[in-house]
């Protein structure tokens, strides 16, 4: 299943260059509180191993969450939908082009099995907003303007806030680039880089 999923995700490969760090603007506003409902558009770059060979994926994503549901769409550099993930209480569904929907109670296990590399969807719900739970079980909240602040999770992810940006609508300061890395048996060292392009809250 993982090999098939990886083949489907190969649509993300190609001419799109890796995400580059951008200079962070001067920041003065405080970080916003956690939002239960938020929509995010951005770019994603993934590096992992398959059969001891390095693999790279580049594309974009659309993230939309409410208190009761999460939808994540992964797109190729040309804007084609490669995979969609829907999370509701007790059930997660992943759909890839040309394949039957895959369903499981745990979204992170479902993503790893279907894509061929781990995508920490459950953690990203907090991480994209500058917060999370560290390996000691304590809440971590990143400080706006403090580039390369980081924390590690109990399941081995290291989350780094590389830089920040002001929200032009609210004036609040939000993460601009987030780097996530983890050593895995399934896909070797996995590196995921997220660049947030836009935010929208109710």
Give the model confidence (pLDDT) of 28-48 as tens digits: 344 567 899 999 999 999 999
pTM for the whole thing?
Answer: 0.84
DSSP for 127-138? HTTTEEE-TTS-
- Sheet containing 38-50: which strands, arranged edge to edge? 102-104, 91-96, 81-88, 70-75, 53-65, 38-50, 188-200, 173-184, 158-166, 149-152
Q: Across all residues in the chain, what is the average pLDDT? A: 87
Instruction: Evaluate whether 130 touches 175 at the Cβ level (below 8 Å).
Output: yes
More confident residue, 105 or 171: 105
Predicted pLDDT of residue 52:
85
Using DSSP bridges, classify how beta strands 102-104 and 91-96 pair: parallel, antiparallel or unpaired: antiparallel
What is the percent of the chain with per-residue pLDDT over 90, rounded to a whole number? 75
Measured at the CA of 199, the angle between CA 15 and CA 72, to 5 degrees, comes to: 60
Torsion angle defined by CA atoms of residues 169, 33, 165 and 57, in that order, rounded to the nearest 10 degrees: -110
Spatial separation of the C-alpha atoms in residues 202 and 192, rounded to whole Å:
28
Spatial separation of the C-alpha atoms in residues 76 and 58, rounded to whole Å:
7
In the predicted structure, residue 22 carries a pLDDT above the cut 80: no
Residue 198 has a CB neighbour count (10 Å cut-off) of 12
């Amino acid at each position: 299943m993982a090999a098939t999923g990886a083949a489907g995700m190969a649509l993300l490969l190609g001419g799109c260059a890796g995400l580059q760090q951008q200079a962070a603007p001067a920041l003065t506003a405080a970080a916003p509180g956690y939002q239960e409902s938020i929509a995010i558009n951005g770019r994603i770059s993934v590096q992992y191993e398959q059969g001891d060979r390095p693999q790279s994926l580049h594309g974009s994503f659309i993230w939309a969450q409410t208190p009761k549901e999460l939808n994540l769409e992964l797109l190729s550099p040309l804007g084609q939908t490669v995979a969609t993930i829907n999370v509701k209480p007790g059930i997660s569904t992943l759909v890839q082009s040309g394949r039957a929907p895959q369903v499981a109670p745990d979204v992170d296990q479902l993503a790893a099995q279907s894509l061929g590399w781990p995508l920490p969807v459950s953690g990203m719900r907090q991480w994209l907003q500058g917060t999370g739970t560290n390996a000691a079980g304590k809440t971590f909240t990143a400080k706006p303007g403090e580039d390369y602040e980081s924390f590690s999770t109990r399941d081995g992810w290291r989350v780094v806030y590389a830089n920040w940006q002001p929200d032009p609508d609210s004036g609040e300061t939000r993460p601009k680039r987030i780097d996530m890395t983890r050593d895995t048996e399934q896909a070797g060292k996995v590196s995921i880089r997220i660049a947030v392009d836009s935010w929208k809250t109710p």
